[in-house]
Amino acid sequence: MATRAEIEETYNYMDEIFRESFGEHADLSCAFFDGDLGKTLEQAQRDKHRLILDQLRIGAGSRVLDVGCGWGRLLKALADRGAHGVGITLSTPQQETCLRGGYECHLMDWRDVTPVTFGTFDGVTAIGSPEHFCSPDEYRVGLQDQVYARFFHLCSSLLRGGGRVYVQSMVWGPTAPAYEDISLDAAKGSSAAVCWPATPRS
């Protein structure tokens, strides 16, 4: 969970070191090794994107909206397949990286997208971005279900007949601490303390 300002600050801060470490259009959100630990990270990420696009049934001429497109790795995979990707991000350096690669990318929040904005799509992806959709303030007042219902309603309105949505997100498991318990002052080594650096606070 994070505010728009926190998202931009976080990804702008890590932009240069990330691109220097992993490449101009690398992916921050996992990879698909499928039991083969001999794969390079780059190959495992290519395999992940192939799996996603296969599940979405994306081919040449297809259109896909990538919500939280990062540095454009899925947009590149779409272009390589002959499809067209439209990316949206809240990070200016991420948008600039995508545009340098020749990919369509817009600096905007998914909440500002309507079927009129870009037209309709054969697929919508949100890879590693949904955990940011609900801000801490929205969570505290119990709006998380409404936030995610709104997102999936948007996806439904954007998809052409037979279109599909692919979502990848981190989730809290049964042993994770309650959001309210996460604190720098929590017992050293506890889940509540370990989660502190990764949890934006307002």
Same domain assignment for residues 134 and 195? no
Q: Are 134 and 148 in contact (CB under 8 A)?
A: yes
CATH code, 119: 3.40.50.150
Same domain, yes or no, for 109 and 29? yes
Q: Which residues contact 168 (CB under 8 A, 6 or more apart)?
A: 29, 30, 126, 127, 128, 130
**Greater confidence, 65 or 10?**
65
Residues 87 and 38 in one domain: yes
Same domain assignment for residues 119 and 181: no
149 and 183 fall within a common domain: no
Report pTM.
0.81
Residues 60 and 110 in one domain: yes
* Domain coverage including residue 180: 175-202
- Considering its fold, how many domains does the chain have in total? 2
Q: Per residue in 74-88, pLDDT tens?
A: 999 999 999 999 999
**How far apart, in whole angstroms, are the C-alpha atoms of residue 10 and residue 80?**
29
- pLDDT tens digits along 100-141: 999 999 999 999 999 999 999 999 999 989 988 888 888 889
